Structures are given as structure tokens and as C-alpha cells.
Amino acid sequence: MSDDMISVIMPALNAEKFIASALRSLLREKELSLDIIVVDDGSTDATAEIVRETAACDPCIRLIAGPRVGVSRARNAGLAAVPAETAFITFLDSDDHNSPGRIGRQLALLKENPHIDFVMGLLQICEQIDEERSAPVEGSRTVTVAGVSLTTTLFARRVFDRLGGFDEDMQHGEDTDFFLRMLETRTPYIAEAEVAVLYRRHANNMTNDVAATRRGFVDAIRRSLVRRRASGGVMDIGDLFRQRAVAEEAFRNE
């Protein structure tokens, strides 16, 4: 088993339908020292009860319960709870599925390349997930995309020590803002061509609010431009921030 502690932060809001599956997908990473931090963002359903029941069998799971504060503050609460011995940090949404071996594979890449600060994999968007096969259900609409996503990425802890957490003023686009801040500071990374996470499309996805999602994206780009104008920095974001948006749009229109 790897001695490197890896904290996984999972914000959860009324996630009773999928959260047990999401946790099980993480627990399949048997050879790792995981610290799974579930931040219950004011759920009114059985989310907290399900997490407690799962944690009773797997003590690597911890629950932080609180009032509804939004996903940025929930993620920051998770970051604040990361223990001192944690060397690496990743995220998983409470309705998604960690691809088998993803964290271990990305950990190996970071350890083989100590100058690299994060490894980012592919996101597979689908309607239904076959949990046993860790794959989309046959016939499920599926799009695989290379683009920024916290859940497909394993970070060296020093990234958060250097940049801090997520902008709590942003209700949407806070993840894009964080990636832009990393690129603005020329944070070195590896983009791998392996599926890291299965992203479950369903009626309650935050990204279903297309207008709010687009406003968040534009706000993140605007904030980046302000910072770069102030610093005189130049940055080519390439396709990293376009691909997921294009994929989700295509998925909605299928």
C-alpha cells in the first residue's frame, strides 16, 4: 500500500440517490491511503445517514455536516479539513464515478515527475453508469472529453498551499477560475489520455442551468483577464476550457 496520504473532497447536496455508488467507486482504490472527506452542504434528504453508514465500515470516510453554503465554500471546508500528512488532493462529485485505478495511476505519474504539480485525465459524460463494470451502461449516450475538471485531476498539495482555495463569491465557474489561476502562474501539469471519471448526466446536474454556467465561465475568464492585465502576463489557454462546454452542449442536443 502507498504511504502517501491522498485526501478526496466530495461536496454533497441532497445526494442520497448516488452518493453510496460514488463512495464505493473510491473505495476500489485498495492500494492507496485515502482520506475521503464528504462535506454535506445542508442536505435535507438521507445523504448524511448514508455517508455515516458507509463510514461505519470504512473509517477512511469522514463527514462534515453543515448548513447550505454553496459548492465553493463546501470545497473550501473540505480543504480546511485536510490533515497535515496529506501530500495529494483530488475531488469527486457525489453523483459521479471514479474510474478504477485512476488515483493510483495519477499518483504514480506525479511521483515519477516530481516537478509536475497536477495530472488531469479525461471526463466521460454519460446518462447511466454500470457500477460493476465502471463503464457507461450499454446504449447510454456518451461523450468523452479532455477539458478542465477538478474531479479528473490529482493535485500535489503544494498547489493549494500556494494558490489557496476556491473563490467563494462565485456560484458557478469557480473550478474554471482555479484552473486559470494555475495556468497564469505556469503550474506544470500532465494531461493523460485515460478516462479518470464517469460524469453522470441527470436532471439535477448544476450544469443543466445553461445560462448560469455560461455566466460563470465568462466571469472566470473576465477575472483572469483583469489579473493578467495587472501583472502583464500572457497565457494561451488553448482548448482546455472549450472542450467540456462543447461536449455538454452536444450532449444536451443529442
**pLDDT reading at 247 higher than 60:** no
Kindly calculate the radius of gyration of the chain based on its CA atoms and give it in whole angstroms: 17
pLDDT of 25-65, one tens digit each?
999 998 999 999 999 999 999 999 999 999 999 999 999 99
Number of domains in the chain: 1
Nearest to 110 by CA among 119, 98, 122, 100: 119
What's phi and psi for 41, nearest 5 deg?
A: -90, 60
> Could you tell me how many residues make up the chain?
254
57 vs 206, residue with greater confidence? 57
d(CA 174, CA 169): 9
Its domain, for residue 146, covers 5-253
The CATH number assigned to the domain holding 96 equals: 3.90.550.10
Residue with the three cell numbers 438521507 = 46
Q: What count of Cα atoms within 13 Å lies in the side-chain half-sphere of residue 99?
A: 22
Look at residue 208 and tell me whether its pLDDT is greater than 50. Answer: no
C-alpha cell recorded at residue 41: 452542504
Q: Is the pLDDT of residue 78 over 60?
A: yes
Average of per-residue pLDDT across 11-27: 97
Cβ proximity of 104 and 32 under 8 Å: yes
Per mean pLDDT, which of 82-91, 137-146, 235-244 is the most reliable?
82-91
Torsion of CA 251, 142, 17, 23, to 10 degrees: -130
Degrees (nearest 5) of the Cα angle 208, 126, 93? Answer: 65
- Alpha carbon 105 to chain centroid distance? 16
Q: Is the pTM of the predicted complex or chain greater than 0.95?
A: no
Distance CA 137, CA 154 (A): 26
DSSP state of 128: -
Which burial class, exposed, middle or buried, applies to 165 when counting CB atoms under 10 A from its CB (0-12, 13-18, 19+)? middle
Amino acid at position 100, single letter: P
